Amino acid sequence: MKKIELLAPAGNLEKLKIAIKYGADAVYFGGEKFSLRARANNFSLEDIKEGVKFAHKHHAKVYVTTNILPHNDDLDGLVEYLKYLDSVGVDAIIASSMTIINTCIKECKRMKVHISTQMSTLNSYACKFFKDLGATRVVLARECSLDEIKEIAKKTDVELEVFIHGGMCSSCSGRCMLSNHMVNRDANRGGCAHSCRWNYDLYDKDIKINKDHYFNIGSKDLMALKMIPHLIDAGIASLKVEGRMKSEYYIAKIISSYRALIDDYYKTRDKNLDYDKYKQEIEKAENRETSIGFFNGPVTVNEQLYDRDDHPTKEYVGIVLKDNLFKKYTLIKQKNFFKIGDQLEIFGPNNKKIDYEVKEIFDCDLNPLDAARHPEQIIKLKIPFRLKKDDMLRLKINIEK
């Protein structure tokens, strides 16, 4: 049986490399055209080529999102763009427009078509339709329960991809125009303003019903750790993590945690894994409330986002820029404030963690600093053990607390 694929988001080239180093079997990202997530640092044509080269060198696949619902003007250059993606080795596009799907099937010799979750596919008959169309994979709607996913998998021979982690639309994907009508940002062309996460009042004619709470319709993010063994057993082809806008630290933590879980299940075939272990790691990077989504059936209040209390995580404080080869100083790019006396935890793709107390901080010219204050500042630390490029530093204990 083919091992299930762990599919990671890549907001830019650096994140693509991090995702693959930290355990992704495949990555997806948008180019500068035809992709949702207009605010992500979408890939230039050169970036795409380099990303594919890096991914394939590490035996990972690359999928490019072309999942907008284009208006007439948006279609200029479609054939050339798809042919370019095909020529540089992109493995598949993720699409929802019939025009983009059919153009790819007609014009591209090698590149496959995956049907985007924007098509809200909830059943085996719809899967059959897309297979007949020429698609090789369908990304199922996030509204499918585990039982439904199992049933669909039994009845269809098209590859299935399932979301396991990250943001959830409150609406069926592709069916929400709140953003278009409220702020004139086209949700299906990359401009979603996340109006479903705003605060509303609920009225019965002119009488306001809500008193102490706003009326909210937003969803908590998805975290489906306990579903992974079931999805593996059901024969799902790919497990997808959402989050092209997320940080490299988030990508590293989420991907390495799911990587470990998947590998542990393949080794043990025991569904009674210590899920808290993976959850604790994920929670180090997750700053939004999570839930099981629709996996257990229709959502309850536990899956809805009320009186939200999101807080930005500031635990990720730096990334190693070069292998230190036991040299006296390790070159670090600062990601969040930390200072002398702070306790850090250093981790890498293998998930091994090392504790480290900050005793000295230096700038590039080896001038001593009392703290790493400036975002993206390049600093040097004396770290007495071997570290590799892209290992990360996380704040463990702030001594003032």
Report how far residue 52's alpha carbon sits from residue 50's, in angstroms, rounded to the nearest whole number.
5
Q: Does 364 bind other proteins (CB under 8 A)?
A: no
Q: Does 368 bind other proteins (CB under 8 A)?
A: no
Interaction residues for other proteins, span 116-155 (CB under 8 A): 119-126, 128-130, 132, 141, 143-144, 147-148, 151-152, 155
Of 45, 79, 105, 176, the one binding other proteins (CB under 8 A) is: 176
Q: How far apart are the C-alpha atoms of 50 and 43, rounded to whole Å?
A: 10
Gap between the Cα atoms of 399 and 397, Å rounded? 6
Q: Which parts of 277-336 interact with other proteins (CB under 8 A)?
A: 294, 298-301, 304, 306
Among 45, 79, 105, 217, binds other proteins (CB under 8 A): 217
Burial of 149-160, coded b for 16+ CB within 10 Å and e otherwise, reads: bbebbeebebbb
Among positions 93-112, residues that touch other proteins (CB under 8 A) are 96-99, 102
Going residue by residue from 24 to 53, which x/- string records binding to other proteins, judged by CB under 8 A?
A: --------x-----xxxxx-----------
Q: How far apart are CA 48 and CA 20, in angstroms?
A: 15
Among the listed ranges 208-216, 234-242, 260-268, 320-328, the one in contact with other proteins (CB under 8 A) is 208-216
- In the window 245-264, what residues touch other proteins (CB under 8 A)? none
211 near other proteins, rule: CB under 8 A: yes
- Give the DSSP letter of residue 216: -
Among 27, 48, 95, 196, binds other proteins (CB under 8 A): 196
Residue 113's beta-bridge partner residues? 93
Both structure tokens of 35: 């992709």
Which one of residues 136, 171, 247, 351 is an interface residue with other proteins (CB under 8 A)?
Answer: 171
Sequence letter at residue 140? L
Q: Select 206 or 365, whichever has its Cβ closest to other proteins.
A: 206
Shortest gap between Cβ of 106 and other proteins (angstroms)?
Answer: 12
Count interface residues toward other proteins (CB under 8 A): 82
Torsion of CA 343, 348, 353, 355, to 10 degrees: -20
Contact status, residue 29 vs residue 41, Cβ threshold 8 Å? no
Q: How far is CA 369 from CA 73, 281, 332, 343, 394, in A?
A: 54, 30, 14, 16, 19
Query: Of 189-197, 273-281, 336-344, 372-380, which part binds other proteins (CB under 8 A)?
Result: 189-197
Q: Tokens 């830019």 appear where?
A: 12
- We find the least distance from the C-beta atom of residue 270 to other proteins, in angstroms, to be 28
Assess 236 for contact with other proteins (CB under 8 A): no
